[in-house]
């Protein structure tokens, strides 16, 4: 766990980069610092590995003050991924990845062997190992940056706008890759971004900083969408937050109707195995526009309800056989009660806090 205790960073010219920040970053989770430029999110991140020293307050990692150890030693045990990868242009990919283990005194040969495994882990071909960074694409460089940060197997990983320098398609890949890696590794990750969608996608918890360098809200993404703490957070979260919030709700909570339940003169037609074929009505057979199965979120289910000619999403089992329908009215009821429950729970926790 990483704890910020009343941390303030004030520069000699009077600028306050971070104001009285107190928060706890949970072990094994991704915590995202998000906010506009100049909000202090990067400063907060860099105080964890002492790239920047706080003016007052302290930061603890698993109970130990970060200032209790020499800077260089502390940093070697904290992975760091910098914006634009920041690879050493004069070293090959393998030597880049091997950097921290070599600093820790591991032999170059051993460090390079381990580096090769890491390349594979971040989805890079082994033959890229002998190339120089300039010979890689932006996305590949960023993957190497992640591999380099993971090389010494640090429990904590700091990521400073790691995906902002690549195009949207590559960014999407890298985000997916990070979630996959995190599923395997379970690191304590602090990630800084100015992109709220990235924050919502990647974060187990999201810390929103406002322009005045203060923590505006610190909550799981679903709560951020459901109940922004103030106008600033609401405007940052942006449009359609209700609909986007459905992405965090369980689709299986909605009541199902049997598949032979007629809707508005349309009935579901299935083949002899029970797989949906389409909606039969007076105009003939209309397309189903897709199905969902167990584990789908409410956003997917809602989308299917909207697209369906019958206003009903079709649930299928593992074999693809239709086993239930979600009707618009049942969906509406479920969304309404879930939002009420969430708001009630947030109100209780605020009263308790």
Partner 1 sequence: MSEIWRYLETNADDVLTALVQHIWLALIPVAIAFVLALPLGALVHRYVPARHIALTAGSVIYTVPSLALLLLLPGLLGTSVLDPINVVIALTLYSLALLVRTTADGLDAVDTTVLQAATAMGYRPVRRWFTVQLPLAMPVVLTGLRVATVANVSMVSIAALIGIGGLGQLFTRGFQLGFYLPPIIIGLVLSVTLAVIADVLIVAIQRGLTPWARAGAR
Q: Which residues bind partner 1 (CB under 8 A)?
A: 49, 51, 72-76, 80, 82-84, 86-91, 99-100, 103, 131-132, 134-135, 148, 158
Task: Between 155 and 274, name the residue whose CB sits nearer to partner 1.
Answer: 155
Task: Between 67 and 291, name the residue whose CB sits nearer to partner 1.
Answer: 67
Task: Between 49 and 308, name the residue whose CB sits nearer to partner 1.
Answer: 49
Task: Between 69 and 121, name the residue whose CB sits nearer to partner 1.
Answer: 69
Number of Cβ within a 10 Å radius of residue 6: 12
Task: Between 87 and 305, name the residue whose CB sits nearer to partner 1.
Answer: 87
- Minimum distance from CB of 173 to partner 1 (Å)? 22
- Minimum distance from CB of 115 to partner 1 (Å)? 14
In angstroms, the CA 158 to CA 149 distance is 9
- Minimum distance from CB of 161 to partner 1 (Å)? 11
Task: Between 95 and 223, name the residue whose CB sits nearer to partner 1.
Answer: 95
- Minimum distance from CB of 203 to partner 1 (Å)? 22
In angstroms, the CA 292 to CA 253 distance is 13
Give the full edge-to-edge strand order of the sheet including 276-281.
267-270, 276-281, 284-286
Packing angle of the helix pair 328-352, 298-307 (nearest 10 deg): 150
Is 160:45 a contact under the CB 8 Å cutoff? yes
Task: Between 105 and 183, name the residue whose CB sits nearer to partner 1.
Answer: 105
- Minimum distance from CB of 80 to partner 1 (Å)? 4
Query: Can you list the pairs that 316-320 forms with residues at least 24 positions away whose Cβ atoms lie under 8 Å?
Result: 316/275, 316/276, 316/291, 316/292, 317/293, 318/293, 319/273, 320/273, 320/275, 320/291
Task: Between 162 and 203, name the residue whose CB sits nearer to partner 1.
Answer: 162
Number of Cβ within a 10 Å radius of residue 13: 5
Going by C-alpha positions, the residue among 264, 270, 285, 249 that lies closest to residue 324 is 270
- Minimum distance from CB of 17 to partner 1 (Å)? 16
109: tokens are 């040969």
Half-sphere exposure at residue 122, Cβ-oriented, CA atoms within 13 angstroms? 26
- Minimum distance from CB of 205 to partner 1 (Å)? 23
- Minimum distance from CB of 3 to partner 1 (Å)? 21
- Minimum distance from CB of 70 to partner 1 (Å)? 9
Task: Between 91 and 280, name the residue whose CB sits nearer to partner 1.
Answer: 91
């Amino acid at each position: 766990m990483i704890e910020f205790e009343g941390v303030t960073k004030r520069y000699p010219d009077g600028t306050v980069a971070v104001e009285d920040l107190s928060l706890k970053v949970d072990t094994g989770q991704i915590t995202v610092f998000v906010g506009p430029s100049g909000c202090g999110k990067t400063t907060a991140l860099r105080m964890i590995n002492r790239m920047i020293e706080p003016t007052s307050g302290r930061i603890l990692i698993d109970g130990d003050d970060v200032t209790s150890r020499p800077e260089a030693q502390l940093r070697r045990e904290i992975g760091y991924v910098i914006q634009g990868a920041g690879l050493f242009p004069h070293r090959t990919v393998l030597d880049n990845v091997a950097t921290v283990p070599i600093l820790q005194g591991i032999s170059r040969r051993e460090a390079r062997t381990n580096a090769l495994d890491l390349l594979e882990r971040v989805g890079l071909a082994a033959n890229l190992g002998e190339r120089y960074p300039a010979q890689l694409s932006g996305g590949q460089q960023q993957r190497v940056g992640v591999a380099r940060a993971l090389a010494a197997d640090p429990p904590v990983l700091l990521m400073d706008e790691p995906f902002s320098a690549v195009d949207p398609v590559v960014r999407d890949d890298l985000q997916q890759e990070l979630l996959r890696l995190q599923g395997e590794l379970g690191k304590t990750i602090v990630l800084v971004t100015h992109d709220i969608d990235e924050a919502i996608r990647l974060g187990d918890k999201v810390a929103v900083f406002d322009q005045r360098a203060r923590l505006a809200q610190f909550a799981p993404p679903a709560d951020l969408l459901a109940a922004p703490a103030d106008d600033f957070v609401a405007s940052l979260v942006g449009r359609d937050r209700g609909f986007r919030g459905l992405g965090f709700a369980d689709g299986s909570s909605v009541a199902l109707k049997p598949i032979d339940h007629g809707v508005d003169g349309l009935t579901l037609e299935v083949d002899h195995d029970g797989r949906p074929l389409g909606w039969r009505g007076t105009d003939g057979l209309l397309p189903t526009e897709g199905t969902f199965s167990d584990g789908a979120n409410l956003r997917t289910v809602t989308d299917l309800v909207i697209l369906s000619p019958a206003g009903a999403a079709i649930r299928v089992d593992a074999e693809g056989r239709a086993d239930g329908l979600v009707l618009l009215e049942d969906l509406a009821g479920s969304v309404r009660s879930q939002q009420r429950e969430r708001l009630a729970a947030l109100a209780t926790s605020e009263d308790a806090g």
